[in-house]
Amino acid sequence: MTALLSAQNLVKEFPVRDGLFAQKLRLTAVAGVDLELFPGETLGLAGESGCGKSTVARLLTGLIPASQGAIRFHGKELSGMDRSEFAQFRKEVQMIFQDPFSSLNPRMRVSEIVAEPLAIHRIGTPGERKQRVVSLMERVGLSGDQLSRFPHEFSGGQRQRIGIARALAVSPRLIIADEPVSALDLSIQAQIINLLQELKGELGLSFLFITHDLSVLRHLSDRIAIMYLGRIVETGSRDAVLSATLHPYTEALLSAIPSVHPREGKPRVIARGELPSPLFPPTGCPFHPRCQYAEELCGTVRPELLEKEPGHLAACHFSEKNYRQRSSF
Amino acid sequence: MPPLIEIKGLSTQFHLATGVLKAVQCVDLTLDPGETLALVGESGCGKSITAASIMRLVPPPGRIVAGSILFKGIDLLQLPEEEMRGIRGNRIAMVFQDPMTSLNPVFTVGNQVAEGLRVHRGLSRREAEREAVEILSQVGIPAPRERIRDYPHQLSGGMRQRVMIAMALSCRPELIIADEPTTALDVTIQAQILELLDRLKKETGMGLILITHNLGIVAERAHRTAIMYAGRIVETAETSELFRNPLHPYTRGLLASLPEFGAPGEKLSTIAGSVPDLRNEIIGCPFRERCPICVAACATQEPEMKEAGAGHSVRCLKAP
């Protein structure tokens, strides 16, 4: 099966200046990421704030250009696309944002918000668009008579439904969702997760689901990729990553999540210290200053992301050695 | 042992142009020394206003209209403002959710940690600074002697939250109210902060009211839990009892909607609808429109809190 969307050695650098007279520095937000997304699958991308996961989302949607590397959609490279091919790519890849408050224009009515992508891509007559908008609103659980309202008249959960309707308007193949439920209350979160799951089954959508909530990730993903400081440190099937964890960072992340299930005396692994600045990444393995298993080699040589088990990749020198003692999610 | 804090019949209202918003309605809570009480609920349920009421920091146009808050036998609501100022930040301290907006950007962190010590304990500038260094190192800030000269923007989110905790701890309070202390933080940093609060609680024997919507944190950290809905406490019990045997349909719905409980990919159970608008007069049970077991009586009769077991109370007509 060919990938719907793939990225090879994706790099994004931002020039920054630390103070008025300081020299220019380069902040490497994404430092060589490889990704593949297949039709109908959900890839969960997880990591802490500042690890580069949102930058990856913006690169993959073509919102910002990559400094290096290639993104392919249906096997065709983004940079080599002509106008109409790029318009098609933009139509087929849609995005859902985290904050349902700032991602909807407060001066537009809901009907205009949902119809805008149709107008941009010149789909249908105004009459057909209106019908499509009504059916989309009903599909995401809002009633057609709310169409002439403004975003502020809706609750957070309802606004996120509007954002989903807008993304679905042009019948995309892939939806990139950047923390779509993290701003919502618990009982509303479950409603939105169910809606996304239903839509995936009904429309055969692929999802790139970005989140820092691993219980949501476990619920929705077919495959999972864990990012740390601009790199993917572990990737594989959901069960492999969560139950047969190979990378110490994934282990610390899983262990740090407060769980309503009793821990049954499992020792908690707490990562020491904090995320290092991506301006001055550590030498060797980026996680070594916080890693409880780190040895001398980790401080000097950066481990490559290698296949340790079939389909299960990790970037750690000692994953085989430490794997046996690990606990499961 | 007398309770550290005992809240009875607390009601706080906001008199708005469009009507009266009853943010907190008849809340009863007790906390023993050394205990952690979790206050749980969704946004707008009144948990933060309950905290603000204890501190007597309800923002206008809000007003505490009824009830008593006994802190070691003293009713905080009867104290003159001057005496309350001697308790606030001194014997009862608060940790806020967002350290970026609750720290003053134009003062150094050392200055802010030392402020309470100078005001409440009358320490000199130098003594207070020495004490501030000591407290910052206790909360796990590396190189505290250098850090006290830093301004809040120079610190990371986790470090700022540690500064907030250091400020709260500076006068050795008997009670700390932490309002979503880790919501703005990443999970690995969250684990560090919660560990720290637990350790300090053991060392000093203070009580902790932990306000959160994260049920995982509740399950792991709190002795007792109170669930709030629409300004009321709807269920309270020992934490392990509450998770084993939830009685209120809202509590049950919340627990069932956690992705942790569903099998991957399966439909999550949800609570239909959304919270009622507290500006409207609520007759009967505020949860009835979303409730799977509601009966005709729920529309007319507001349920009373009733005992359902040792230390387990629930506000529902139908609950066993």
pLDDT digits (tens, 9 = 90+) for B181-224: 887 777 877 888 888 888 888 888 899 999 988 888 899 899 99
Under DSSP, the state recorded for A102 is: T
Instruction: Calculate mean pLDDT across residues B252-260.
Output: 87
Rounded to whole angstroms, what are the CA distances from A319 to A230, A242, A257, B228? 20, 14, 21, 45
Neighbours of B109 (CB within 10 A): 28
Angle at A226 between CA A223 and CA A230, to 5 degrees: 135
Percent of chain B with pLDDT over 90: 45
Using CB atoms, which residue from B195, B243, B254 is nearest to A187? B254
Q: How far is B43 from chain A (nearest CA, A)?
A: 7
Using CB atoms, which residue from B43, B191, B268 is nearest to A185? B43
Inter-chain contacts counted by CB atoms under 8 A, chains A and B: 105
The CA-to-CA distance between both ends of chain B, in Å, stands at: 31
Helix (H) or strand (E) holding A15: strand A5-17
Tokens read off for B229: 């809905």
pLDDT digits (tens, 9 = 90+) for A115-168: 999 999 988 898 999 999 999 998 888 887 888 899 988 888 889 999 999 999
pLDDT value at A327 more than 50? no
Residues of A in contact with B264 (CB under 8 A): 218-220, 238
Write out the DSSP string of B244-287.
HS--SHHHHHHHHT-TTTSPTTSPPP---S-PPPTTSPP-S-TT
Amino acid, single-letter form, for residue A292: Q
Beta-carbon separation of B267 and A275 below 8 A: no
Instruction: Calculate mean pLDDT across residues A65-85.
Output: 91
Helix, strand, coil: what percent of chain A each, to 5? 35, 25, 40
* Residue A323: band (very low, low, confident or very high) from pLDDT cuts 50, 70, 90: low
Tokens read off for A41: 């699958």
Residue pair B188/A253 in contact (Cβ under 8 Å)? The answer is yes
pTM of the model: 0.82
pLDDT value at A88 more than 60? yes
Residues of A in contact with B269 (CB under 8 A): 190
List the beta bridge partners of residue B69: B7
pLDDT digits (tens, 9 = 90+) for B112-163: 999 989 999 889 999 999 999 988 888 888 788 888 899 988 887 778 888 9
* Residue A261: band (very low, low, confident or very high) from pLDDT cuts 50, 70, 90: confident
Residues of A in contact with B268 (CB under 8 A): 190, 193-194, 219
Q: Which residue of B has its CA nearest to A141?
A: B273
Averaged confidence pLDDT in chain A: 87
Rounded to whole angstroms, what are the CA distances from A30 to A231, A248, B147, B152? 6, 20, 30, 27
Residues 6+ apart with CB under 8 A from A201: none
Whole-number Å distance between alpha carbons of B236 and B30: 10
